[in-house]
Structure 1
């Protein structure tokens, strides 16, 4: 159990507060944002909002943990930057794993946000700063690297290797044994049957590579 500061005051942070308070042993004590985004009334969900620039002077790393459940904007790179800034201040980051998810003895990294009805099969490892929204099937003997987002109802077959910064839209499907290169964007309802290229965007059934890089897609 840890006393936790949540980064952000938008939807993802509000949801994180809801889940942590109702479905974890952790206690949320505050929210934090960059000073430029502090509201005039620095209170959210009945808790104080503090400037990230000096959060450690109020909630020191030795006594508090952090959670940064951010959106996949900028192909997850914004979330990575915040995660690394939190780590640079010396904080441990918790992960949230829903009690309604099905897991085995999987290795799961820091700052992961894993919601209800995910099934993570045996022998699959999940890195740091990964979001698995609700209802995904995560196949066996696979690896999901850091800073990845699965939306909802994604089917990932076994023996897949998911590169960092990748994004998967609702109802997308991955054939077994695929190597999804870093920064891959897979659009909703797409079926990927071949390995992808780094920072490529894919759409369709079967999925084909689009003529724009994933970095140009607004999430």
Structure 2
């Protein structure tokens, strides 16, 4: 049983601990966090160690790491901490739910967090440090590159290329053979039918609350530059 350290004490970190505890051959032995953010020395019954001291107590020759960090700063925060862990010499593990639908040829990099009910078709390639929340469809021969965050109920059709640091909101849909540019933000409910430029924002269904508390749905199909 491989022993791992989880970065963070957030809800995502507690979810990661739960999944590893119940659906993984790994043993979580500690949590780690940047020193200035530590307020308690224990989380979920395990020690919390300062990140700048972690390799002295849990050397990378004996322990691995998992960094379940959110999409803040368009995934660049997660990218930065992942790269810092790699600089310290840690190998980062991935978690793939046993309740996800996958095939034996699935190619997944390090530090990926793939939740239940994802359907990942044959010949899909997923890079390092990606998050696929529950209930997505990833079509055949699609390549998802590093540091991507896909929320829930997203449909990415076959033969797509998803460049680094892209983000997908709930219920977004991507047409087959489409390239999503680096740092693209695909909003909730957006339908993408053509390639997107880098760092663009694509807005889907937009909700606004009126004074009478009814909801006005205004479907928008344009983009604004980020």
Residues 42-88 of structure 1 deviation map (CA, whole Å, 9 limit, x = unaligned): 10000000000010010000000000011000000000000000000
Match of 2:222 in 1: 208
Cα distance between partner residues in 2 of 1:55 and 1:142: 36
Q: Is the 8 A contact 1:191 1:206 kept in 2?
A: no
The within-5 A match list for 1:180-219 is 180-204=180-204, 207-210=221-224, 212-213=225-226
Residue ranges of structure 2 left out of the alignment (5+ in a row): 205-218
- Determine the structure 1 residue equivalent to 2:53: 54
Task: Assess, with a 3 A threshold, how the Cα gap between structure 1 residues 194 and 206 changes in structure 2: closer, same or farther.
Answer: farther
Whether contact under 8 Å (1:130, 1:146) holds in the other structure is yes
Which residue pairs with 1:100 in the alignment?
Answer: 99
**Residue 120 of structure 2 is aligned to residue 120 of structure 1:** yes
1:36 partnered with 2:33: no
What RMSD, in angstroms, separates the aligned Cα atoms of the two structures?
Answer: 0.9
What is the match of residue 2 of structure 1?
A: 2
**2:87 corresponds to:** 88
Q: How many residues align?
A: 211
* Structure 1 residue matching 2:84: 3-state secondary structure: helix
1:171-217 residue CA offsets vs partner (Å, 9 max, x unmatched): 0000000010000000001111111010000013674212x40xxxx
Q: Which has the larger displacement, 199-208 or 143-152?
A: 199-208
Q: Residues 193 and 207 of structure 1 are in contact (CA less than 8 Å); yes or no, is this contact kept in structure 2?
A: no
The 1-side partners of 2:220 and 2:197 are apart by 15
Alpha-carbon distance in structure 2 between the residues aligned to 1:51 and 1:76: 22
Matches within 5 A, 1:169-184: 169-184=169-184
2:134 maps to 134
Superposition TM-score, scaled by structure 2 size: 0.92
Instruction: Specify every segment of 5 or more residues in structure 1 that has no aligned partner in the other structure, as ranges.
Output: 214-219
Q: Is the Cα–Cα contact under 8 Å of residues 3 and 29 in structure 1 kept in the other structure?
A: yes
TM-score, normalised relative to structure 1: 0.95
> Runs of 4+ in structure 1 displaced over 3 angstroms?
none
